[in-house]
Structure 1
Amino acid sequence: MSESVRLTGFVDDRRISRFQYVAVALCGTVMFLDGFDTQVINYLAPHIARDWGLSTAVLGPIFSSALVGLMIGYLVLSPLSDRFGHRRLVIAGTAVFALTSLVSVWVGGVTELVVLRLVTGIGLGAAAPSAVALTAEYSPKRVRASFVLAIYCGFSLGFVAAGLVTGWLEPTFGWRSVFLVGALAPMVIIPVMLRFLPESLAFLTGRGADPERAYQLCRRIDRTLPVQVQPVLVDPTEAGGRVKLRAVLANGGVLGTVLLWVVFAVNLGEFYALQSWLPTMLTDLGFAGGTVVSATSLITVGGIAVALVVGPAMDRLGAFGSLAVLFVVGAVFLAVAGPAFAGPEWVMLPALFLVGCGVSGGQKALIALAAVVYPASVRSTGVGWALGIGRLGGILGPLVVGAALSANWSPTAVFLALAGPMLVCAGMIVHLGRRARRAATTPAPEPVGPR
């Protein structure tokens, strides 16, 4: 009988259990609901404006309030996981956006809706980083990137579901019914999470010390462990503890972390610029409404499709190299897609699908990269800050592209210009990979951020 269980390498050295699959599936469900509630306001806003007699300008604060809330959740609340645990933060964040969506069913004015969307965004931003962190912690290293990419595909599927549900319910039951669905779905999943979602082992062996509970979770991964409770030993660099921003930047990781933030910001800027302006560009070029919807959706679908390839590549061939190749390919697709606007639909639509592989797929792969390079002790904070800083790019990107279009840039010129930053980001990722390899061959304490 073993005298102790060593947490370091424990998950990596064993077959994936049904318990782990359930944990990852629950995190993926949370990401799906997160994506649904993030996107649904974009589909409902025109109906709300028509119902309340609002001008288009008034919709801006409604859209931006949720984005501001997301930033608050990412930057301020995700570090609280070191005090309360990932499980509690996921459940609490889900409860917040469920309740605010429910209250939105009876909202009566713009101010109320803006406040509710702000709080909804805070809940969404609190839940996502901890869901990513839990997925990474309960995934063996050999499939970690694949599992993180898989649950982040749930976020994109939530985008798609928001449009489908709105199109199905709104014409018959009105826009308030869609908010009701956005509230009831997370309310159903919360009791399931209370029963089956595990707490972080790093948290239970650190600040939230509960040795017996930690051991019982280990037994659910490996049933061959003895029934009698044994000590769970953990490397100090992996134990849960008080995490501040300086911990993410410590041990020479400042440059690596800042570069990672820049890549996040550029990628999210390009993604949201395409989501915001592609329908307008296509409409101005005379494409039919159905084609516009299909083209915009293909950006998201391309990101989901490429995840099936890039996830295993990151696990088997290396996270940095695989992501750099994806960004280079994405830059090529952006440059090639511009001239496709002048061609027939059967040329333009596949071109935009390939653009989605690079841009939307790059967004998901970046989340997986952050989950791989940050150790468990700072993973939620690291992912949360990367997403939060990246959200600044998501705000600036549509503004920059809008200014370019206002200056009479053609869609071809815009897409060609977007290819440049993607290439620069590929170079940054290559540099991060070299730093990581040097750090791995240099005897030094375990870093707490990307090198």
Structure 2
Amino acid sequence: MTDTTATATPLRLPEFIDNRRPNRFQLGTVLLCGLVMFLDGFDTQAINYMAPAITEDWGLSKSTMGPIFSAALVGLMIGYLLIAPLSDKFGHKRLVVVGVLTFSLSTLASVWVQNPEQLLAMRFVTGIGLGAATPSTIALTAEYSPKRVRASLVLAIYCGFSLGFVAANYAADWLIPAYGWRSVFVAGAVAPLALVVILLWRLPESISHLIRRGQTSAAYALCRRIDPTLLHVDAPHIETESAGPGKRVRLRQLVSGGQLLGTVLLWLVFSINLAMFYGLQSWMPTILSERGYSASTLATAASMTTVGGIVIAFVIGPAMDRIGSFGALGTLYLTGCGFLTLMSVALGAPVWVVLIAIFLIGCSVSGGQKSVIALAAVYYPEEVRSTGVGWALGIGRVGGIAGPLLVGALLTAGWSHQQLFLTLAVPSALCGLIVLYLGRRAKAGDGFRSP
């Protein structure tokens, strides 16, 4: 007999999704979100590969590119902190579509820029678009994923961001010599413009958002796409543990009452992790060059950090789903202390030893960056998820900006490379201890919940 749901029996979220295996509709939604993250990563990284050609074409000094790089970061912070919370009013789908459309059009406009000031303005707008789309992309992935695979699927789409980094490298290497640096902007604009059409057609809206806006019939139609055996009813009844119909979600929900300490500590982990990530990404080539390694080794080392972050996602994601998000991520950060210590003794060793050490650092630092985003996605309830993830990403950017400055200051002060890596083990340990503490608070019922 076909399993159906009668009119009198209400659906309850998120149990309705959690109790079912993800079907083609849900996996297709995750795939679309992954494509958004891929193009986000492509656009973010492409400008770095274009910089040498731009400076040569316009006769600029290297320092002139600094504000252009920073403009996108400032735009990202605005998108994360100010635009992402608007998902409560306009919905996740609209923010994803508008964000992708914004960064694709600004990237297209960059094809015709004639001076650094115009390029800086376009990168600023691009950053806003990227920052607006990312939190809602993560929130949609988390909402349409059953709890038992939620962290894995969020990590999977964020691996798309890293793959975009790699694709930008190959695209720039092929396009710039043949067609000039502006051709990379063309590629970075056409692909997301095409994706916008697909997003408008296939990307679903948040079910919980529709319920909060009183659009229960539209929400029920999406539930039927998750479970086609549901009966068609004229007046569906859907219950949710999140905000009820008509209730607005406020930013203060992240920092009110018992949520304050947990949110601040999560922001601290984001900031420390991003400080380590960007500090190492910025200074690792210089460190290896000073140790006498070849230029080809430097290029390989740069990719090993990204590869390590992608590979560990296939381990840490299922671990977060099966043994608990806090325990798995806390263990990864604490293990990273050993990897950083290994790097302090591997300097000067054969190339293969150094590359293995850098790969392992990528597992803990780059992998930790992806995993803490997955942690935020399962830590915050649906009604504040986009705002929670957006603010964590935005506050974390402060660490991303400070990281290269702090590492540079230590090296300028005369610290040896060995001392630097041993010192970096301390913030990695701190992240691990904070995450484990957050897990204890969540199990005790303090803050939001225990994933």
Q: TM-score range by the shorter chain?
A: over 0.9
Which of 286, 307, 315 aligns to 2:313? It is: 307
Show the counterpart of 1:221.
Answer: 226
CA contact (8 A) 1:253 1:450 kept: no
The 5 Å alignment of 1:52-201 reads 52-201=58-207
CA contact (8 A) 1:248 1:448 kept: no
Which of 397, 401, 423 aligns to 1:395? It is: 401
CA contact (8 A) 2:208 2:240 kept: no
Give the letter for the 1:348 counterpart.
V
Deviation at 1:238, TM superposition (A): 4.6
Farther-moved stretch of structure 1 (309-318 vs 333-342): 333-342
The 2-side partners of 1:424 and 1:8 are apart by 33
SS of equivalent to 1:234? strand
Give the letter for the 2:65 counterpart.
L
Show the counterpart of 2:3.
Answer: none
In the TM superposition, what whole-angstrom CA distance separates every residue of 1:22-42 from its partner, at most 9, and x where no partner exists? 000000000000111111111
CA contact (8 A) 1:239 1:376 kept: no
The 2-side partners of 1:239 and 1:81 are apart by 16
Deviation at 1:146, TM superposition (A): 0.3
Residue identity over aligned pairs, in percent, reads 57
Deviation at 1:448, TM superposition (A): 4.9
Give the letter for the 1:108 counterpart.
Q
CA contact (8 A) 2:175 2:181 kept: yes
The 2-side partners of 1:8 and 1:299 are apart by 36
Give the letter for the 1:104 counterpart.
S
Show the counterpart of 1:245.
Answer: 251
Give the letter for the 2:238 counterpart.
L
Deviation at 1:17, TM superposition (A): 1.1
CA contact (8 A) 1:69 1:125 kept: yes
The 2-side partners of 1:250 and 1:397 are apart by 29
CA contact (8 A) 2:443 2:450 kept: no
Give the letter for the 1:32 counterpart.
F
Which of 209, 215, 240 aligns to 1:210? It is: 215
In the TM superposition, what whole-angstrom CA distance separates every residue of 1:83-120 from its partner, at most 9, and x where no partner exists? 00000000000000000000001111010011100000
The 2-side partners of 1:97 and 1:239 are apart by 33
In the TM superposition, what whole-angstrom CA distance separates every residue of 1:314-339 from its partner, at most 9, and x where no partner exists? 00001000000000111110111122
Farther-moved stretch of structure 1 (23-32 vs 7-16): 7-16
Structure 1 spans left out of the alignment, 5+ residues = 441-446
In the TM superposition, what whole-angstrom CA distance separates every residue of 1:56-101 from its partner, at most 9, and x where no partner exists? 1111101100000100000000000000000000000000000000
SS of equivalent to 2:240? coil
The 2-side partners of 1:238 and 1:364 are apart by 28
Structure 2 length as normaliser, TM-score?
0.96
Give the letter for the 1:431 counterpart.
Y
SS of equivalent to 1:356? helix
Show the counterpart of 1:416.
Answer: 422
Deviation at 1:239, TM superposition (A): 4.5
RMSD of Structure 2 on Structure 1 (CA):
1.4
Farther-moved stretch of structure 1 (360-369 vs 247-256): 247-256
CA contact (8 A) 2:208 2:242 kept: no
SS of equivalent to 2:37? helix
Structure 1 length as normaliser, TM-score?
0.96
Structure 2 spans left out of the alignment, 5+ residues = 1-5
Give the letter for the 1:212 counterpart.
S
CA contact (8 A) 1:7 1:232 kept: no
Deviation at 1:449, TM superposition (A): 7.7
1:27 maps to 2:33? yes
CA contact (8 A) 1:238 1:375 kept: no
The 2-side partners of 1:409 and 1:381 are apart by 39
SS of equivalent to 1:286? coil
The 2-side partners of 1:196 and 1:421 are apart by 42
SS of equivalent to 1:10? helix
CA contact (8 A) 1:26 1:193 kept: yes
Give the letter for the 1:409 counterpart.
W
The 2-side partners of 1:232 and 1:37 are apart by 43
CA contact (8 A) 2:142 2:377 kept: yes
1:385 maps to 2:368? no
Show the counterpart of 1:444.
Answer: none
Deviation at 1:5, TM superposition (A): 2.2
Give the letter for the 1:158 counterpart.
G
